Amino acid sequence: MQILVAAFLAILFLQSGIDKIVDRRGNLEWLKGHFATSPLAGTVPALLSAITILEVAAGVLSALGCLLLLVMRDSTLAFCGAVISATAIIALFFGQRVAKDYAGAAVLVPYFLLTLVAIYLLAQG
C-alpha cells in the first residue's frame, strides 16, 4: 500500500508541476482570468511559482520515496512527499475557495483524503 500511494502522488504532482513549467504562459493566463475578481488577482505570478515549486517537490519526493520503499523499505522520503502533497492540495483548495470556484474546490477533497491516508500509511514506517 505504501508503494501505491507514493506512486500515485508522484504521478499526480510530477505531471501537474511539469505542466506548469512547460506551459507556464498558458497556466498564467488562465489563472489571471480565474482570479481576476478575487483578492489574489495581483499575486497570481508569485502564487503560480509557489504552487509549481510545491507540486514538483511533492512529486520528486514521492517518486524517490517510492524507489526507496522498493529498494530499502524506507518510507521517510515518501512520507515527506505526502506531507508536501497535502500542503500543495491545501494551497490549491484555498485558491479555489477564494476564487469562489466551489466546484473546483470540491474536486480536490478526494485527493486530500487520499493524501491523508498516504501520510497515515507512510508514518507506519
Express each pLDDT in 77-110 by its tens digit: 999 999 999 999 999 999 999 999 999 999 999 9
The end-to-end CA distance of the chain, in Å, is 12
pTM of the model: 0.95
Number of C-beta neighbours around residue 5 at 10 A? 25
Torsion angle, CA of 50/56/61/62, rounded to 10 degrees?
Answer: 120
* pLDDT tens digits, 11-70: 999 999 999 999 999 999 999 999 999 999 999 999 999 999 999 999 999 999 999 999
Task: Find the helix packing angle between 76-98 and 2-22, rounded to 10°.
Answer: 50
